[in-house]
Amino acid sequence: MITFLVCLIILVGGYLIYGKFVERTFQPDNRPTPATTMADGSDYVKMHPAKIFLIQLLNIAGLGPIFGAILGAYWGPVVFLWITFGTIFAGAVHDYLSGMISIRHKGSSISEIVGLYLGPVMKNIMRVFSVVLLVLVGVVFATGPANLLAMLTPNSLNAAFWLTVIIGYYFLATLVPIDKIIGRVYPIFGICLVIMCIGVAGGIIVKGYHIPELTLSNLHPDGQSICPFMFITVACGAISGFHATQSPLMARCMEKETDGRKIFYGAMVAEGVIALVWAAAGVAFYETTGGLQEAVVRLGGQGGVVYEICNTLLGPVGAVIAMVGVIACPISSGDTAFRSARLTIADWFKIGQKPITKRLALTIPLLAVGALLTQVDVTIVWRYFSWSNQTLAMIALWAAGAYLVKNKTAPWIAVVPATFMSAVSLTYILMAPEGFKLGASVAYPAGIIFAIGCLAAFLLLIYKKTEKADGKELAAE
């Protein structure tokens, strides 16, 4: 219990202290934002900061910090450390910088930002990477809620029925102006999410469940190594490249840059709290990591675990409220994932999105592909989503570091987590069952060498660009 509470306090303190430091490093000012200078009534629409915060939280939360945290609890309370410090020093920094840099570049998608700071090759890689990731997110966050809704409704309303309903909703939410559905419904979903999180945390504490204290031992029932597997499994609750695709959506709606810390850094810290609560629930409710693993298998996945925990802790009424929060989160992330995919392609091919016909031309094929992928085993999709998610985060952080160097401020706030995630991403794909299945003796050194190589390449690239810029300034003088 003490470890859990200390980590909770550190998360809040991280927002107040390190979040303020990151804000001072970036130096937001009072310049006009894209919501003002590029208003189009569809994607560039001014909204209230509190509403934007709730939308950002729901966009990034999804099933990730819940399902990922439950699986992360297989390693025991050591997962609390990754959620806490990953959120403060990596995830929240990643979200803040990707959102704020987007504001400075007319609300551009993350792929276009990467191209500006890491070159055209990386831009094209990120364009493809982003669209693939976003479609995978939409698929995962349609299938999961459909299964959960099927648990709460009569047998005639099965998962296939709810999947059709959700895809239909995604079509509308992806197509219509952002303030018409997303801007109006998400605050309500946000209240459900908060109630769910408080209810589960309160139920664990009040009913006397034992949240184990920190041990650095590996408690995974199958002995799977903490590095890199835990760092990839708990993605959205610590750092997630998916968030870099979502922050530009809100960058197009913000009236003031100075709201950035509350919206971007703050939403990620709130997600870290959600992940911490569900990780604690996982290790406490089933008493042992082996018991948790057995429950995931017995109940047909993390969705069944979520339902059992909510129903036991909160009773039937509380369980419904909690489940609505869990269902609303992924649906809200799924629709904005497809929306982000549409805008990424629009930025890529310079297709204006004000006319509805042009929005339809991109929305229909994207959702058709997503609907086909829902027929694939979602656990396989999730594995590739997790790795591609963290790889995208790595690239976004390197681009943010380049931006900070160009603007002559401290790049290390992005470069340090970028280097770490470079090592994690390569090590994982070398070791993972869906990767190359290599041993740790090969994967660990390769990951370290890759991270050092990325850092060296970054420093060389930045050095050359800085030297070139200084030369132009001297020539001008």
CA atoms lying within 13 Å on the CB side of residue 388? 22
Closest CA to 340 of 363, 373, 371: 363
User: Is pTM, for the whole model, over 0.85?
Assistant: yes
Contacts of residues 22-25 at CB distance under 8 Å and 24 or more positions apart, as own/partner, are 22/92, 22/93, 22/96, 22/97, 22/261, 22/265, 22/413, 23/96, 23/260, 23/261, 23/265, 25/404, 25/409, 25/410, 25/413
Write down the residue that tokens 């509805």 correspond to: 356
Sketch the domain layout of the chain as residue ranges: 2-17+37-383
240's CB contacts (< 8 A; 6+ apart) are 60, 64, 91, 94, 389, 390, 393
Between the alpha carbon of residue 175 and those of residues 45, 110, 130, 273, 369, the distances in Å are 14, 20, 19, 32, 16
Can you say how many angstroms the Cα of residue 10 is from the centroid of all Cα atoms in its chain? Answer: 20
Can you say how many angstroms the Cα of residue 141 is from the centroid of all Cα atoms in its chain? Answer: 12
Determine how many CB atoms are found less than 10 A away from the CB of residue 315: 12
d(CA 57, CA 21): 21
d(CA 158, CA 148): 10
339 neighbors 174 (Cβ within 8 angstroms): yes
pLDDT tens, the chain, 477 aa long: 899 999 999 999 999 999 999 999 999 999 999 999 999 998 999 999 999 998 898 888 767 788 889 999 999 999 999 999 999 999 999 999 999 999 999 999 999 999 999 889 889 988 988 888 788 878 877 887 888 788 778 888 888 899 999 999 999 888 888 888 888 888 777 777 778 888 899 999 999 999 999 887 889 999 999 999 999 999 888 999 889 999 999 999 999 999 999 999 999 999 999 999 999 999 999 989 999 999 999 988 887 888 889 889 888 877 777 677 677 777 877 888 899 999 999 999 999 888 889 999 999 999 998 888 887 766 666 667 778 888 999 999 999 999 999 898 999 999 999 999 999 999 999 999 888 999 999 999 999 999 999 999 998 877 776 666 555 543 444
234 neighbors 72 (Cβ within 8 angstroms): yes
d(CA 47, CA 179): 8
241's CB contacts (< 8 A; 6+ apart) are 94, 133, 388, 389, 390, 391, 392, 393, 394, 395, 396
Residue 146, amino acid = A
289 neighbors 220 (Cβ within 8 angstroms): yes
d(CA 244, CA 97): 9
d(CA 186, CA 57): 9
Closest CA to 81 of 93, 73, 390, 286: 73
Q: What topology does CATH give the domain 2-17+37-383?
A: Amino acid/polyamine transporter I (1.20.1740)
